[in-house]
Each structure stands twice: as structure tokens, then as C-alpha cells.
């Protein structure tokens, strides 16, 4: 007997304003932000005391005590305490991954509804110490008597052991930061500084217009005195961005990535509610859009491929499976980790050589309509708390499709580690 899959609907999402690290949310942490967005989702959709099939949340930078952040946060959210929770991490793709996890469970009938989301803080980061001190403390714990513990503590001790280690942003395999890798991509694909700055300016202006139009009124929950994203610069101009110095390649004279066309260190959280048609109808809730498909890919960045180019591979695989072309979309939500990354992705899809040699295609995927790209702004203007970005994009795109009445949207998110997470939302 052939199995049939259940359609997976996006009921809606919420987020708190994203802000710069060490500002409004400096003392909140992932747990507090996760509780806030989950509680807001419970309030919005009347889920008090409701048992869901799963809550999948994530965080990239978290303390070891947050080993199951999702479960702990949902216990403070108003959901039934019998709701399971799972915590995941795949860098910037984390909460889109979580939506895929929930969607797959709904599709095969394991659950009927769940929440996907994520939070991240670069303010409340785990601080660890070196191997020597860690081994010393473990040996002290194993020692039987107070005197033995004291001997272990003092034997060969150096004050250098007390030097803390902060989380780094470098790729372990290369020692280079994501910005360093993206700078290499920009040079390889000949992406100009002006094109990057223009994309950033456009992102800020589009986000400001969306706020002015009230687009985010239902998507955003004020928190800690913030009512809009702390990164938003409505008065951003090409002239202002042109004054900024390169942030990564500072010495060659050819650096093009700056603080103005790259995302800043961010704090924030977001979550979305996914459900079957039957579950939503039973609770009197409307479906905004459906999650049609998803795809994840990876590149060999250690041996020369661009670190953030994996979405260029994931998208054509997904398109082929669905019988779609790159132009068959009303909206494109391409995560703006860096303006250069977005532009490299678009140029790769336009390149006959890249599409033939790397993607195995007979022809280039082609170009997209710029008017359909990140219509309400994206990460350059909104901010980018790593694990929260995917849920933010899903909620934004689902509302856009609902407002339009029908259509199809493409989500593309690059991640650290040379991976990409992509998905298709549609509203028939």
C-alpha cells in the first residue's frame, strides 16, 4: 500500500527584535530569549496547556547547562509539560533545520503539530579554560582526601593556566573566519565593494519601509524596551558606507567586506508553529503557507571551494526534484550573512561554467528578478543571531505569501562549516 504524506502548514511565527550584542539582551541569555518567543507563540495561537508533538529549538553558542534548551524553555512557555523538546545546532541554518525536522514528522504522521525555532547570544558566551587547568580540576575531583586535592592543585601550577578562552569565529579546519572566507569568494567571483554596499543599503531601506507599513506588527514581540531591530539604519547611504574600512582583508588594498556590508554580532530569538491542515482546522487556525520541500548540501571548503557556496548546490537539487526552475518563484529569501555571499550565489547560478562543471547542468540556472529578492530586508539590516535566522525567514515569507494570496518562495541559508540549508514555501 502506497503511503501518502500529510501537507505541512506554517501557521505563523514570532520573534523578538534582534539587537547588537552587549546591549539590551546582554544579561538575558538563550534560555530567557527562548522562553520569551515560545511564550509569545503560545499567547498568539492559544496554546496554553496544549501538548504538541515536538518543540525543536537550537542555539549555536550555548552553555553546557543548556544541553536541552528546547525542553527547558518549553517548560516555562505555557505549553503542556508533556510536550517533548529537542535542541539542535547547524550554525546559521539551525532553525530552518528545526522546521524541516518538525515538518518531516508531520508529513509522515508521527505528530500533527510542533514548533521550530532558535536563539543565539554573543553576549552571554561560555568562557572555558585551557587543557592544563581542565585536567588539573578533573584530577582534583578524583583525589580522595583534602590533602591529596591540595597537592594536585599546587603541583606544577602556573598562573598562565588561568587565562580564559572565548568562543572563536574561525573555522577549525582552516583557522580563517567566515569573513575571511567570504572575502576570498568575493575576489574569486569579482564582486565589487559598490555592489555589496548597494545590497546593504537596499536591505536597510526595505526593512525600514516594512516597519512603516506595519508588516512586522504581528511578527514582532517587543522585549526589553526594543520595538524594532537594533541594527536597522533607515538613513543608510552609499556615501556613508563608502567611508568604512575593510573589516577582514585590511592590508592588501583589495578588501571589500566592511562592517557595513556584513552582519554584526547579534542577540535574538524566533519561532514558528507548523501543523497539519486537520490540526489547524480543529483549533480554528489558518495556514499561511506550506513547506513543500527542503534540501541540505555541503562543499569541500578546506580544499578550495567557497565556504558559503553550498546553497548554490542545494537549490538546484531541490528544483530538479520538484520540476521547477529558478525563475518559478514570487519571492527569494537569501540570508544576507554578507552582501558578498548573496551576490556570489546569484552570480554562480548565472554562470554557465559553474552550472556545468560544478552542478552538472546543461545550462545556467539563470538570473532572478531583483525586485523579488529579500523584499522586506534581511540579515544585514535585521541582524543575525545564528540559530534564529531560519525561523525569522520562514515567518516572514509565510506572511508574504498569505498577503499575496498565492505563490511560491525560495529560502536559501548558508552556514559555517561549508553547508547550506534551503527550502520551498508555497501557498496554492
Catalytic residue among 19, 48, 92, 376: 92
Contact 247, 257 (CB under 8 A): yes
In angstroms, what CA-CA distances link 273 with 153, 287, 288, 348, 387? 51, 10, 11, 34, 16
**Helices (H), strands (E): how many in the chain?**
14, 12
Contacts of 207 (CB under 8 A, 6+ apart): 229, 232, 376, 377, 378, 381, 382
Contacts of 56 (CB under 8 A, 6+ apart): 70, 85, 86, 87, 88, 98, 99, 101, 102, 114, 115, 116, 117
User: What three-state secondary structure class fits 307?
Assistant: coil
Quick check: is 355 catalytic? no
Cell 545590497 locates to 199
Q: At what angle are helices 389-404 and 94-107 packed, to 10 degrees?
A: 60
Dihedral sign computed on CA atoms, order 14, 16, 17, 20:
negative
Q: At what angle are helices 193-212 and 339-350 packed, to 10 degrees?
A: 110
Q: At what angle are helices 311-322 and 339-350 packed, to 10 degrees?
A: 50
Contact 35, 76 (CB under 8 A): yes
Quick check: is 92 catalytic? yes
Residue 88's region, left for phi above 0, alpha for psi from -120 to 50, else beta, is beta
Quick check: is 384 catalytic? yes
For residue 290, which phi and psi values (nearest 5 degrees)? -120, 140
Residues marked as catalytic:
92, 384, 414
Amino acid at each position: 500500500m502506497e503511503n501518502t504524506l500529510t501537507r505541512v502548514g506554517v501557521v505563523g511565527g514570532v520573534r523578538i527584535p534582534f539587537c547588537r550584542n552587549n546591549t539590551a539582551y546582554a544579561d538575558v541569555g538563550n534560555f530567557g530569549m527562548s522562553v520569551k518567543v515560545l511564550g509569545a507563540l503560545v499567547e498568539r495561537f492559544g496554546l496554553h496547556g496544549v501538548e504538541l508533538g515536538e518543540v525543536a529549538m537550537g542555539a549555536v553558542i550555548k552553555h553546557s547547562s543548556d544541553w536541552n534548551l528546547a525542553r527547558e524553555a518549553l517548560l516555562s512557555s505555557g505549553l503542556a509539560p508533556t510536550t517533548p523538546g529537542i535542541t539542535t545546532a547547524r550554525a546559521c541554518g539551525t532553525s530552518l533545520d528545526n522546521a524541516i525536522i518538525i515538518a518531516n514528522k508531520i508529513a509522515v504522521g508521527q505528530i500533527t503539530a510542533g514548533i521550530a525555532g532558535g536563539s543565539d547570544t554573543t553576549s552571554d558566551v561560555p568562557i572555558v579554560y585551557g587543557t592544563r587547568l581542565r585536567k588539573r580540576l578533573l584530577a582534583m575531583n578524583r583525589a580522595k582526601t583534602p590533602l591529596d586535592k591540595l597537592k594536585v592543585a599546587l603541583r606544577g601550577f602556573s598562573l598562565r593556566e588561568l587565562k580564559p578562552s572565548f568562543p572563536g569565529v574561525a573555522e577549525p579546519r582552516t583557522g580563517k573566519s567566515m569573513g575571511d572566507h567570504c572575502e576570498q569568494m568575493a575576489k574569486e567571483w569579482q564582486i565589487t565593494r559598490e555592489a555589496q554596499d548597494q545590497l546593504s543599503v537596499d536591505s536597510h531601506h526595505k526593512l525600514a519601509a516594512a516597519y512603516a507599513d506595519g508588516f512586522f506588527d504581528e511578527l514582532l514581540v517587543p522585549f526589553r524596551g526594543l520595538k524594532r531591530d537594533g541594527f536597522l539604519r533607515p538613513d543608510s547611504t552609499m556615501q556613508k558606507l563608502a567611508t568604512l574600512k575593510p573589516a577582514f582583508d585590511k592590508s592588501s588594498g583589495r578588501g571589500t567586506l566592511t562592517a557595513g556590508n556584513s552582519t554584526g554580532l547579534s542577540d535574538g530569538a524566533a519561532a514558528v508553529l507548523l501543523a497539519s491542515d486537520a490540526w489547524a482546522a480543529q483549533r480554528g487556525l489558518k495556514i499561511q503557507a506550506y513547506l513543500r520541500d527542503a534540501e541540505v548540501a555541503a562543499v569541500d571548503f578546506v580544499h578550495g571551494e567557497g565556504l558559503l557556496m553550498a546553497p548554490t548546490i542545494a537549490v538546484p537539487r531541490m528544483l530538479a526534484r520538484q520540476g521547477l526552475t529558478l525563475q518559478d518563484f514570487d519571492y527569494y529569501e537569501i540570508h544576507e550573512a554578507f552582501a558578498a555571499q548573496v551576490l556570489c550565489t546569484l552570480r554562480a547560478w548565472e554562470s554557465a561554467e559553474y552550472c556545468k562543471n560544478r552542478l552538472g547542468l546543461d545550462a545556467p540556472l539563470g538570473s532572478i528578478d531583483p525586485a523579488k529578492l529579500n523584499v522586506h530586508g534581511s540579515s544585514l539590516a535585521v541582524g543575525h543571531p545564528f540559530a534564529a535566522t531560519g525561523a525569522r525567514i520562514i515567518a516572514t515569507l509565510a506572511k508574504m505569501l498569505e498577503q499575496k494570496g498565492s505563490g511560491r518562495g525560495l529560502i536559501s541559508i548558508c552556514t559555517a562549516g561549508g553547508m547550506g540549508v534551503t527550502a520551498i514555501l508555497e501557498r496554492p
